[in-house]
Amino acid sequence: MVDFQLERFDPSLNGPVLLIILDGVGIYRGANENYPGNAFDLANTPVLEKLISSAPISTTLKAHGKAVGMPSDDDMGNSEVGHNAMGAGRIFDQGAKLVSRAIESGYIFNDDTWKKFIGTKNSPGFALQNHQRSVHFIGLLSDGNVHSNIEHLFALIKKCHEEGVKNLFVHTLLDGRDVPETSALIYIEKLEAFLSSIDRDYAIASGGGRMSITMDRYEADWDMVERGWKTHVAGSGRMFHSAKEAVETYREENPGIIDQNLPAFVIEKNGVPAGPIQNDDIVIFYNFRGDRSIEISKAFTDKNFAKFKREPDVKVNYAGMMEYDGDHKIPPEYLVNPPSIKKTISEYLVKNQIKQYAISETQKFGHVTYFWNGNNSEKFDETLETWKEIPSDRISFDLKPEMKAREVTDELIRALESGEYHFLRVNFANGDMVGHTGSLKASVKAMEVLDECVDKLIQSSEKCGATVIITADHGNCDQMYEVDKKTGEALKNEDGRFLVKTSHTLNPVPFLITGKLSHSFSLNPEAEDPGLGNLASTILNLLGFTPPSDYLPSIIKKNN
């Protein structure tokens, strides 16, 4: 049994501690000092700028690559792995790395789910027992390595071919968010070439932009999932001869549209949908990240599903790449086990009677709760944990870059000044969600609103004697234009416009401490090259606790 009782080296350090997570706000580290696409730099943010230059504790943290459990330092971080690392105090191998290892070792194909669904020629699963059944892969078609990787898809398709699967269809969700905004045809052409090399009835059946269909999260817009159901399952929608034709047509009809917003499309064969999902078919959702995989998984597996009318209401054999929600067992069948994250800071705090408060708007609510708590949807203690969700607007966030930041701030100030909580955490979604739209102007506005909100929170913290930590989970709005890696120059397209970047960045994130205890601590030289995983020990130090021995070291140390 784990002993959760922590040593308290200073009982007088009992909070409140406020952690402000500015989602998607990195510190640009490019070679070009005059880089024109840094929304943070272009915005009027006097409060944050002053803190970065003069806060008692000011440094940066690594928020990508191996520092958050990704395969290599060429891999950008994301909100899921970032909040996992922050809440866990340690680094766990994450989705992309877990799946790649499972494929390379062959483990995934020896797993009970794969053997049951596909099987082998000598031990056939559902697909090989009845060749009238089709295998369908649904997922994000890119190599962004945040939600999925096209190489994982190819490996699964290749194995299906080797074992003799006759009919296979891919339902492509187009990215333009974790990869360049209009790169869809690169991946479509790569997939088409791969499928055409297989002498079987393997083809693309449907698709659409990831922010148009299927990949909603936190139940923000079930209409997206319903559109996905109609597209993938019913084969209902505008039909094209190929995915390439669909993309080119939509771009011509909607000048300036980016891949994530492309409408749904269905591929036809002889005038009818080429590959609708039918009863008893095998469906594998090949995204490894959980947040945008849960709702479509519910639609396929929940017997009491009532979010929309499933037409047709098919009964299929469904599996996810991973288990997306371990508490609610979503989905019941999956190919690769997710990281098992125990002993998070939240669990330690409740076992030591520290009352906590977590708040965000819908778009990031799961990150300060589910991901922060180690992929755990439930509270560790109902009486010691309060979670507050502010409903997000259901619009494109460049149209309202302030999002719900002001409402979140007002609610957080009420909680902070109540004196009820020792540790409070908030995620402001603006830098990430607005940054993903590709609008530099809107992202600049988002940063200015965040600066206003941070100012209010610092004033409130001074009033109630709180210590404030400001950081981020990864970069995004700090680099809104693509960059030439050699020269550092922002890239332009053929008509002279900057190439918009909608994905996360490899930049570090700010780490600032101000407020009551900020002068009582200094940077800890033993925390070399710190990352997000070092944050949990830091919070525990500010609360007067000695961190667990297996946690990464604190970023700070108590002054003598």
- Phi/psi at 96 (nearest 5 deg)? -60, -45
Alpha carbon 496 to its chain's center = 32
Which residue has tokens 């402001």? 428
Q: Which two tokens stand for residue 185?
A: 């045809």
CA dihedral sign, ordered 93, 94, 99, 104 = negative
**SS3 state of residue 30:** coil
Between strands 57-61 and 135-141, the pairing is: unpaired
Separation CA 300–CA 471 (nearest Å): 38
Separation CA 166–CA 338 (nearest Å): 30
Separation CA 38–CA 48 (nearest Å): 15
Residue 274: half-sphere exposure toward Cβ, Cα within 13 Å: 24
Q: What HEC string does 524-554 produce?
A: CCCCCCCEHHHHHHHHHHHCCECCCCCCCCC
Active-site annotation, residues: 79
The answer to whether the beta carbons of residues 216 and 363 sit under 8 Å apart is no
Taking CA atoms, 417 is separated from 17, 171, 190, 466, 551, in Å, by 12, 50, 55, 9, 31
